[in-house]
Amino acid sequence: MANETVRVRFAPSPTGLLHVGNARTALYNWLFARRHGGAFILRIEDTDRERSQVRYEQQLIEDLRWLGLDWDEGPEGTARSHNLWGDEHGRFGPYRQSERLKIYARHTERLLKEGKAYPCFCTPDELESERKSAAAEHLPQAYSGKCRYLSQEEVDENLRAGQPFAVRLKIEDHPLTFRDMVRGEVKFEAEAVSDPVLVRSAHGGAAGLSEGVPVYNYVVTVDDALMEITHVIRGDDHISNTPKQVAIYEAFGWQVPEFAHLSTILGADRERLSKRHGATSISTFREMGYLPEALVNYLALLGWGAEDGKTETFTLDELKQMFSLERVTPSPAVFDFDKLNWLNRHYLKQAAPDRLAALAWPYFADRFADRTAALSGAGAAAEMPPVMPTEVMGTTVDGTGFRENGFAAGAAVAAGASIGDGTGLRPLGNAAAVPAASRATAAFPQIPSPVAAWFERLVMVLVPYVDHLDQLPARAVPIFGVDPVIACANEESAAILAAESSKRVLAELAKRVDAHAGQVTAAEFKTWLNEIKTETGIKGPDLFHPVRIALTGSPSGPEFDKIIPLIEEGAALGLGMRSVRQRIDRFVGA
C-alpha cells in the first residue's frame, strides 16, 4: 500500500432506502480512504431498470451527506431525471452503470474474440434439467459447460437463426483464490464456480447481434478495474461472488484488488437485521431524531473496536485517525438499539441548545403554525384556545416513525438550518453546516424571536428524558396542559389526590395563586411551597406530587423551577397554554 494510492468505492443500487448495513459499508470505505490519504468513489449501480428510481438515488446521496461522508468522484445528486445527468465529477466516469453499457459491450466483444468467453444457447428448461440431474446424483449443481465445446459452425448457425443466448466466461482449471483482509486467504475450486454468465438475453439474427444485459458480477468487476479500485470493502454476502470476479480479472489480465468482507449485522434474535427488528433505514433514523454523530459512532462499532478495547465514543475525525481493517472482526455484529440510544443521549447532552431546538422544531411546527402566525398579526393570539395533548403529540405517526404533518415544512431546520433571517426572527441551528443546495431549496418556518427563545428552553428541559427527538412531543404534553378529568382518572394520580393531605396542599396553593397578580416566577412558587410545608407540616412526595399532578397531570417530571417559567411564558406568548393560576383553579374546581 505504501507505493499505491488507495481507491475504494461505495456502489449502492437505487432500488430502496439506504439501510444500516450499506451505510456501515460506506462508512468503512470512507474511513479507510481518509486514513490512507486515498480516494472514496460513489458509483450508482442502476442497471436494474425496473426497480431503480431517481428518488432513491437522491435519498441515499442526502443520507450520505447527513452522515458526514463526502466523495472524491461520483454523482453530485443534483439530477432530476434519467435523461440529463451532468452532475458528476471525476476522470473515470460515467459513474452510473446505466451510462456504461457500451463499455461493457466492448469488453464482452474482446473476451469473445480472445476465446475467453463463449455464447451459451441452453434454454432455461435445459439448465433446470441439468440442475435436477446433478441434485439427484448429489453432484455440485453447476453448469455442465456443453456449449463451451460447440464448433464455430454450430455457433454461427445458431446466431443466424436468431437463437437467444448468454455469454459465459471460461473458467480455467485451477483454484480461484483471493486475499481477504478480514478473513485471510479464501480459495474456491474451479468446479464450484463453473462457467459464470456475463451477459443474458442476447440474440443474433439478420439485424446483427444484440448486446444483451450484463450481469452484476461482470459489470462490477469491469467498473472496479477501469476505475482502478485497489480495495473492495463490502458485506460478506458477496463472498460467493468474489471467485467469479477474480476469474474475470484474470481473463482480462487485470490486477486483482484486495478484498475485505464485512460481517453480517444481526437483530437481537440473532437473525439477519430486517424491518421486523425496527428501524433499519438511515432516513428513518433521521426522522426519529437521531443525531448523525451518534449513528456514525454506532455504525463504526458494528464490527470494529478501538485498540484499547474500551473507548466507545468517537467523533468522525477521531475515527479517521483510528480506523483500520485489521481490527474488523469476521464475527456477526448484533444491532443493539439500547446501545444506539445510549450513544444518542450522549451526543444530545453535548449538542448546542440552538442546534437541538432547530432539530426539534419539525416535530412541533405544524402544531404551532397558526399560533406563531397569529403572534405576527394584530394580537389575536390571546383569543386562541389552549393546545390539547393530542394536538401536541400528533395523530399521524406511521409505523416507520415518519410524521405525515409538520416534518416536511421543517426539513431544512432538522438539518440544522436557520429559521430566521435577522428581521426580528430568531435563527436556530448552524446554517453554515447545511449544504448550500439544501438551504436554497428549503422553506424555513418564520418564528417570532420570543417563541424561538421559549422553544429552545422547552427542548433543553425535555431532552434529558428522551432517547431521540421524536419522543419530545409526548414529553411536552404536561407542559402544554392537563385535563383534570383525565389526570384524576389515572389510578396512581387518583390515589395521591384522594389523600386529605393532597386536598389541603392544593387548597393552600390555590389561595396563594389567586392572591397573586401577574406571572408566577419559579422563586415565588418555591416560596409558596415552603410556606405550605411550614404551615401544614406536609412535606416530600405528599407535598410535591399533588402539586405536580395539578400542573402537569403527572406526579413525576422536570423540576418546578424549570417548568413554571415555561408554563407562564408560554401562556403569556399566546401559545394556547393555560397559566399556573388557570391550571390550579381549574384543577381544584374540577
What positions carry a catalytic annotation? 275
Q: Which residues contact 90 (CB under 8 A, 6 or more apart)?
A: 41, 72, 73, 74
- Dist CA 258 CA 262 (whole Å): 13
Q: Do 6 and 260 form a contact (C-beta atoms < 8 A)?
A: no
- Say which DSSP state 303 is in: S
Q: Which residues contact 536 (CB under 8 A, 6 or more apart)?
A: 501, 504, 505, 508
Phi first, then psi: give them for residue 41, nearest 5 degrees.
-110, 135
The Cβ of residue 404 has, within 10 Å, a number of other Cβ atoms equal to: 12
Note if the bond before 94 is cis, omega within 30 degrees. Answer: yes
Query: Looking only at Cα atoms, what is the longest distance across the chain?
Result: 111
- Dist CA 493 CA 482 (whole Å): 13
Q: Give the residue ranges of DSSP H helices in 164-273.
A: 190-193, 216-226, 242-252
Rg (alpha carbons) of the chain, rounded to whole number: 32
Closest listed residue to residue 198, CA positions, set 224, 177, 170:
170
- Dist CA 453 CA 276 (whole Å): 40
Phi first, then psi: give them for residue 254, nearest 5 degrees.
-90, 155
CB-based burial of residue 128 (10 Å sphere; 0-12 exposed, 13-18 middle, 19+ buried)? exposed
Q: Which residues pair with 202 in a beta bridge?
A: 165
User: ∠ CA(61), CA(235), CA(98), 5° rounding?
Assistant: 45
Three cell numbers at 526? 418555591
Three cell numbers at 13? 443500487
| 3-class DSSP string for 427-451 | CCCCHHHCCHHHHHHCCCCCCEHHH
